[in-house]
Amino acid sequence: MQLRSARLCLDCEELHDQEHCPVCASEAFAFLTRWVPVDDRPREQRRRPTPPPPPRPNGMKRLARGGAFALAAVATGRWLWASTHSQQSQKQEEKK
């Protein structure tokens, strides 16, 4: 229970933070901050939670990126194979 929201029931002297006293259902209360001063800022700084890690790409993006890489690799391989194959065929024709 926060000190700023703590209430003292004036009928049964119960501490609570609700609109009605949970013990006697009275609406007569006084805030504890009337007698107990509250600092405006906490004395000890709270640690901030670490930010969550960046989101990983979903499956479709990974699949598309992997597919584009595979397509580029296949196209490069075919180009290299075709260029070496044509060079070999030219050398064989020159020998004949």
DSSP state string for 41-61: S-SSPPPPPPPPPPPPP-HHH
Q: Beta strands 29-31 and 7-9: pairing type?
A: antiparallel
Q: Tell which wins on pLDDT, 78 or 43.
A: 78
Higher pLDDT, 96 or 83: 83
> What global pTM score does this model have?
0.40
Tell me how far apart the alpha carbons of residues 27 and 7 are, in angstroms, rounded to a whole number: 11
Domain edges within the chain? 1-38
Q: Under DSSP, is residue 3 helix (H, G, I), strand (E, B) or coil? A: coil
Percent of the chain with pLDDT over 70: 90
What pLDDT was estimated at residue 59?
Answer: 76
Judged against a pLDDT cut of 90, whether residue 73 lies above it is answered with: yes
Instruction: Please measure the distance between the N-terminal and C-terminal CA atoms of the chain and give it in whole angstroms.
Output: 98
